[in-house]
Amino acid sequence: MRDLDLFQQALGITAPWKVVRSEFDAAAKRLDLYIDFEPGGSFPCPVCGRAGCKAYDTSDKTWRHLNFFQHEAYLHVRTPRVQCPQHGIKLVEVPWARHGSGFTLLFEALLLALIKDMPVKAVAELVGEHDTRIWRVLHHYVDQAREAEDFSDVRQVGIDETSSKRGHNYITLAVDLERSKVLFATEGRDSGTLEAFRTDLEAHGGRAEQIEEISLDMSPAFIKGASEQFPEAELTFDKFHVMKIMNEAVDKVRRAEQKERPELLRSRWVWLKNQQHWTARQRETFEALSLPKLNLRTARAHRIKLALQEFWTLSEHLAEPFLKQWYFWATHSRLDPVIAAARTIKRHWDGILRYFVSRITNGVLEGINSLIQAAKARARGYRSARNLITMAYLIGGKLQLPSPI
């Protein structure tokens, strides 16, 4: 069998296409295959599919293909433009690559398989391509998969932000809490992100009126956006964010008190970590610092925090009476950071108590956020918010990526 016949069969090329020449450079580790079409060959119109369109002229195109053993392989094609009676002169579609790509479909399939387990930059180094070309492939297939998404049965949504770069650069995520699935991601964390989510939801068969429950933090921007764009939804303020506010209050008390009580130095995590996660040394430190005779303000703030943790375990009918008693205790504690935290909770009273009806949290979102940040760390960051958004869909979107082949 001639080498050209072998290459033609290996590539799966059929008439009117044919391999007409091959060039192999062992020193450069490169194989170049040249493809042409038979004289008089006809092609379908790429717009309407009309058969029998004759070549009008040609344009030389090149695609990177799967390696030939350890050698890079390229397809060079005299690609015709055809003249359709209805649509005029159009460049034909070739069976081995999608329009606008510099890679064959098989090469793109390899890239997608590698990207699932490796950072894009590492994939680019492995295949010897610039990572911007790899990102373009990933953007295409993720965007294509999202176009096919159906959000018509989404009922419960979690909203949160994650950092895209150091400083104050964020993307906002909307997650289907019932399916643990990223529905939407966009740059920023203002009220407009909720409007963008609503637009995207409706573009995928959903309706704002179908959203029954939204879990979010106490960000005024998110609250405003959720109330305006999803007026039928009940808002539940995420309990982990509520506890974060309380933890920050405890830490402020500790930082102020340790200026006069040096025994509190290096005890931060004793007061902030849950007891089940303490080390033996942290447990000993806590037992020593919580003695009544020391009368530490930090220990008092910590007890108020532990009571608020207990609140989340109660039944619905006990929750509000308990929270009222807790609020009285916190606001009479003479600890300014604790009083400020309690007043924040008071301003969001109904949304906090809504937890005992909806039983939703942003725990799923926090898990997805940690995976996104881990991927970002492995990649040593992403150059653009769009790249991070694409990775968020790839990691948490449970997308059915279309197969290039």
Give the pLDDT score at 234: 98
Q: SS in 3 state form for 233-249?
A: CEEEECHHHHHHHHHHH
Cβ-contact 331, 344 below 8 angstroms: no
Q: If pLDDT is split at 50, 70 and 90, which confidence band does 405 have?
A: low
What are the phi and psi torsion angles at 379 (to 5°)?
-85, -5
> What CATH number was assigned to the domain covering residues 106-238+361-405?
3.30.420.10
Summarize the confidence of residues 357-385 as an average pLDDT. 89
- In angstroms, rounded to a whole number, what is the distance separating the alpha carbons of residues 142 and 253? 47
- SS3 call for 1: coil
Q: If pLDDT is split at 50, 70 and 90, which confidence band does 167 have?
A: low
Six token digits for residue 115: 């990207």
Residues facing residue 333 across a β-bridge:
none
Dump pLDDT digits (tens) for 90-149.
Answer: 999 999 999 889 999 999 999 999 998 899 999 999 999 999 999 999 999 999 999 999
Give the pLDDT score at 166: 63
Dump pLDDT digits (tens) for 377-404.
Answer: 888 778 889 999 999 999 999 999 877 7
Q: If pLDDT is split at 50, 70 and 90, which confidence band does 1 have?
A: very low
Q: Residue 334: pLDDT above 60?
A: yes
Q: What average pLDDT does the chain have?
A: 93
Cis before 16 (ω within 30)? yes
Give the pLDDT score at 5: 84
Dump pLDDT digits (tens) for 272-306.
Answer: 999 899 999 999 999 999 988 999 999 999 999 99
Look up residue 161 and give its amino acid: E
In the chain, list all ranges with CATH 3.30.420.10.
Answer: 106-238+361-405
